[in-house]
Structure 1
Amino acid sequence: MVQSGPSQAIASRARPGCAGRQVSSGGATVETVKLGFVPAHRVPFDEQWARDMRRRCLSVMQQQPGIEWVVPDEGLTEGGIVRNDEDAEKVTKLFRDQGVQGIVIGAMTFGDEVSAVAVAQSLSGLPVLLFGTKEGDFLPDGGRRSDSFCGTLSIASGLYRRRIPFVFAGILFPEEPLFAQEINRFAGTCNTIKNFMGAKIGLIGPRPERFETCACDEVAMIQNFGQRLIPVSLPEVFVPARRLSDDDPDVQAIVADIKARADTSEVSNTTLARLSKLEKVLMDLAKSKGIRAMGLQCWNTIQMDYGVTPCLAMGRLTERGIMTACEVDIYGALTMLAQYEAARRVTVPHFIDWTIQHQQLENVFFAWHCGNAPMCLAAPGCRPQVRIQSILGKLFEGDAGQGAGEFELAPGPVTLSRLQEYDNRFKMLITKGEIIPDDRHLRGSWSWVKVENLDRLYRTLVQEGFVHHASMIPGDYSDVLAQFCQFAGIEVVLV
């Protein structure tokens, strides 16, 4: 067995979206994914060519950051390749024992379809990536070495015949840039499938009465994704938060971190303490129940009962790896989770409204919410401010209206997505844009986003029943999300 992966140590996990995982060549951090590689060969094609191609593939695969490879070595199968039923049984056991999250089948030569497909069939439920390798020069006698172009079709038809979902990377040499791109895309897909399917999602308080937008179907989540919705009443949060002392070490650490990273001059110490206690209780709740994402009722009960506006705490929870959506928008939280895992946790999303069109610029809209963005997304030189919330502050005086984290987000490419469900069928809007800078001081957590065609995007939102909430994450993860949707049974609406 050959196992490989980046040699860098795992660093601190305090802020999963901003720092703390395996370091890639570009300095970013990625969540490690374990993939199994099936180098398929058919006798009597050129076995030395198959072995050399296996070596060339592994040489490139092992350079990709954050991927741990599980591969049969020469002690497990002859030449470390898979050619018959016995090999397939050995490799299946290897993959199962090592807990691979996805399977990569490569036709090194023509490839034995039965053994290659048997591995995928025995580990049903795992995403599968198939690729073929290009042909070398003719042999001196005019014969061919590989016929992978032909054999890949046999493997593909075997997968299709058994209704095993798979994606096809192409026919290519491993040294081609597209090979590494497809491998990394698939790694993101596998990470998303692993952490999205079967996830536990917190429903913290009921949705706002006038926001039918945030309705969700728990049964649809169970049937489609095997997910579990965990309802939590607001008193289950407020009571333990009130019991915490201002001198609690965890509370003091959160307060100190907020003060170190944001301007808190406009809010009271009481507000900071309440925000910090809320963050601690929700984080402890997520850890104890295994919650990966949550929707929180962020108005009006929390202001009337607990006496703070939770926007900043929600952004900090997202930054710490617990995706937290406003207004108990569970499908919004699922969208955030999909984006976060598609990015392999190198960054975190901002839960936004499609708010307004730019008053002068074409194809530019205001991606905004009240003050919930993770502070690690702030624009360079923009120090976040903790302030009275720009909307709820008109309804609640004093500490109750305080708690928004206000700042402009950093410029650069972004991916925008929204998961929606009607009649037990899920679909996801996926589009791309770019945050453009603005020198004004505006309220909330915000950015101006330029897209290719705002009219077409907006018409799609309207005509496809997408709501006014979305998730936006730095970087281009549109291909990963689309591939994830293919395996998760989600219709892709690409704009």
Structure 2
Amino acid sequence: MSKKITLGFAPTRRNIFSADAAIKFANLTRNKLNELEINYVDINDINADGLLYDDDGMHKIAKKFKNAEIDGLFLANENFGTEYECARLAKEFDIPVLLWGPKDEAPTADGSRLRDTQCGLFAIGKVLRRFQVPFTYLVNVDLEDPEFKQGICDFIKVCNIVKTFKNTRILQIGPRPFDFWSTMINEGELLEKFNISLSPIPLTELVQEIKHLQATNDPTITNVIEKLQSLAKIEITTENLRMVATLKVALTNKMHKYGCNAGAIQCWTALQDEIGILPYASESLLQDEGTPVTCETDIHGVISELLIEAATLGDEKAIFADVNCRHPEEKNGELLQHLGVFPFSTAKNQPVLPKSHFVFDYPGSVAFEAKDGNYTLCRFDGDNGQYSLLLGNAQTCAGPYEQGTYLWLKFANLNRFETKLVYGPYIHHIAAVRADVVPVLYEACKYLDITPDFYDPIEEDIQAYLRGDINSIVKEL
């Protein structure tokens, strides 16, 4: 699992039940977390039991977890548990909370029970609600049941989504193009509601960085050229290839200068007037490095990319596409195509850097079909003070050759998907990854003050998956 995510492990007990049994199951839980390679902060040093059950311990645990800057809190109810201490601890943080307890054993010969764990889970859940602490419940199963591994691993992904979202700073290079009123955003609201900040710079600042790199003959440019040559069939001139590489280095430098983990750029046409190329091949390189950059200054679009990639723990890179054309033969088929902002790693065959773009008569774009598979699609968007996350799945299907970067997808019902985009608050730009991460994105929404929204009626299936009742929500179309 991801070493970037650290859990605070707080096993709990209640005094009227067996402390020895709670200690035993807490240690078994520790062993399982170690087996799954979960990165966690323990509380063995807080008291003799290594458990949460009183105020003194709670304050010490809270201090330790804050110093460790944990990303999620794991409340493991090893017997009935002390519900108010669990709630008090959780209230100290603004992070995802996982609640679970191991299934109770059969009663002893005299009819007594050592732990009464399930009963305690009901109590803890109620008190967390009283404290207005959102939480994720992992059902009452044994450590060796597959539902436990699924639940803990999915919770790590939820933590990664929340951590990414709450620590996002976006490099905005130039204003949105005049004609693109659909990519208009409220910068103040993003900061006030979500702590997402923008670092706006004019296009001229980026151009000045390019000129500086050219004047100093930065050796990093040569490294980028060599990488492009290893990744793609190069049809552009040596001079234009060098400019693609220089732009990539300039964008990276500006990201670092302003502490940004993503960007959005006014990709046409002022930039071409200054440097003679389109930015898409440069952006594709950045996408593969985990710092996505979207075109047409689509701020909400790049947030969508960050969310969906975080849901995969970075194992899959997101394509960013226009939803723009129905399939000529397949009733539920749709073309996802873009100016060129697909990571090179998502290519089905060898990418090409064509002599010119199919719309703009400039070099600097990329052309390939994306890999086949099952995709999750998402779009973060909002207006009038309300924000939501459009979610769903689709599968690749065969379709005609297209210029640029593209992907044909088959939906369960294309009309439902199309209608969602038209009625909004979404636009036709969407992020997609080749993985089934709808459930973890859905679960993360409760921690982000975002409304999950679906273009297919799958919410019951998602909840069944999160309960451990089904293994996947993706169905063959």
The amino acid that maps onto 1:366 is L
Compute the displacement of 1:197 (Å).
0.9
Which whole-Å CA distance do the structure 2 matches of 1:53 and 1:450 have between them?
Answer: 47
Which whole-Å CA distance do the structure 2 matches of 1:427 and 1:255 have between them?
Answer: 40
Compute the displacement of 1:441 (Å).
4.3
Q: Please, which of 211, 233, 237 is the counterpart of residue 242 of structure 1? A: 211
Aligned to 1:135: 104
Aligned to 1:61: 33
Q: TM-score, normalised by structure 2?
A: 0.92
Aligned to 1:415: 376
- The 8 Å contact of residues 207 and 297 in structure 1, kept in 2 or not, is answered as yes
Following superposition of structure 1 onto structure 2, how do residues 32-431 of structure 1 map, counting pairs within 5 Å?
A: 32-65=4-37, 67-73=38-44, 75-122=45-92, 124-245=93-214, 247-264=217-234, 266-379=235-348, 382-393=349-360, 396=361, 401-431=362-392
Which whole-Å CA distance do the structure 2 matches of 1:49 and 1:274 have between them?
Answer: 66
Which whole-Å CA distance do the structure 2 matches of 1:448 and 1:63 have between them?
Answer: 40
Which whole-Å CA distance do the structure 2 matches of 1:50 and 1:357 have between them?
Answer: 58
Compute the displacement of 1:389 (Å).
4.4
Q: Please, which of 439, 444, 448 is the counterpart of residue 404 of structure 2? A: 444
Which whole-Å CA distance do the structure 2 matches of 1:220 and 1:409 have between them?
Answer: 35
- The 8 Å contact of residues 107 and 152 in structure 1, kept in 2 or not, is answered as yes
Please state whether the residue corresponding to 1:392 is helix, strand or coil.
Answer: coil
The amino acid that maps onto 2:46 is L
Compute the displacement of 1:90 (Å).
2.1
Compute the displacement of 1:392 (Å).
3.1
Compute the displacement of 1:128 (Å).
0.8
96-105 or 450-459, which deviates more: 450-459
- The 8 Å contact of residues 285 and 343 in structure 2, kept in 1 or not, is answered as yes
Which whole-Å CA distance do the structure 1 matches of 2:389 and 2:202 have between them?
Answer: 29
Cα 1:485/1:262, change in 2 over 3 Å: same
State the Cα deviation string for residues 108-167 of structure 1 (Å, max 9, x = none): 111011222221122x21211112332111011101222221111221122111111212
Compute the displacement of 1:437 (Å).
5.3
Which whole-Å CA distance do the structure 1 matches of 2:29 and 2:411 have between them?
Answer: 37
Please state whether the residue corresponding to 1:421 is helix, strand or coil.
Answer: strand
1:463 aligns with 2:423: yes
Which whole-Å CA distance do the structure 1 matches of 2:401 and 2:221 have between them?
Answer: 30
Compute the displacement of 1:58 (Å).
2.2
The amino acid that maps onto 1:416 is L
Identity %: 26
- The 8 Å contact of residues 3 and 39 in structure 2, kept in 1 or not, is answered as no
- The 8 Å contact of residues 42 and 109 in structure 1, kept in 2 or not, is answered as yes
Cα 1:31/1:319, change in 2 over 3 Å: farther
Which whole-Å CA distance do the structure 2 matches of 1:256 and 1:276 have between them?
Answer: 9
Structure ranking higher in strand proportion: 1
Compute the displacement of 1:343 (Å).
1.6
Which whole-Å CA distance do the structure 1 matches of 2:32 and 2:238 have between them?
Answer: 54
Compute the displacement of 1:84 (Å).
1.5
Following superposition of structure 1 onto structure 2, how do residues 462-481 of structure 1 map, counting pairs within 5 Å?
A: 462-481=422-441
Which whole-Å CA distance do the structure 1 matches of 2:381 and 2:344 have between them?
Answer: 27
Please state whether the residue corresponding to 1:402 is helix, strand or coil.
Answer: coil
The amino acid that maps onto 1:50 is A
The amino acid that maps onto 1:112 is T
1:434 aligns with 2:395: yes
State the Cα deviation string for residues 433-477 of structure 1 (Å, max 9, x = none): 223456x64311111112222222222222233101010112111
Which whole-Å CA distance do the structure 2 matches of 1:243 and 1:72 have between them?
Answer: 52
Which whole-Å CA distance do the structure 1 matches of 2:211 and 2:243 have between them?
Answer: 8
RMSD: 1.6
The amino acid that maps onto 1:491 is T
Which whole-Å CA distance do the structure 2 matches of 1:472 and 1:371 have between them?
Answer: 14
Please state whether the residue corresponding to 2:364 is helix, strand or coil.
Answer: strand
Compute the displacement of 1:195 (Å).
2.0
Which whole-Å CA distance do the structure 1 matches of 2:3 and 2:290 have between them?
Answer: 12
For structure 2, the residue ranges without an aligned partner over 5 or more in a row are 457-477
451-460 or 464-473, which deviates more: 451-460
Please state whether the residue corresponding to 1:170 is helix, strand or coil.
Answer: coil
Which whole-Å CA distance do the structure 2 matches of 1:201 and 1:389 have between them?
Answer: 29
Which whole-Å CA distance do the structure 2 matches of 1:437 and 1:360 have between them?
Answer: 10
Compute the displacement of 1:31 (Å).
5.2
Please state whether the residue corresponding to 1:417 is helix, strand or coil.
Answer: strand
Which whole-Å CA distance do the structure 2 matches of 1:275 and 1:390 have between them?
Answer: 14
Q: TM-score, normalised by structure 1?
A: 0.88
State the Cα deviation string for residues 7-60 of structure 1 (Å, max 9, x = none): xxxxxxxxxxxxxxxxx6xxxxx4521001111111121223212221232232
Which whole-Å CA distance do the structure 2 matches of 1:421 and 1:31 have between them?
Answer: 32
Cα 1:198/1:260, change in 2 over 3 Å: closer
The amino acid that maps onto 1:234 is L
Which whole-Å CA distance do the structure 1 matches of 2:182 and 2:250 have between them?
Answer: 27
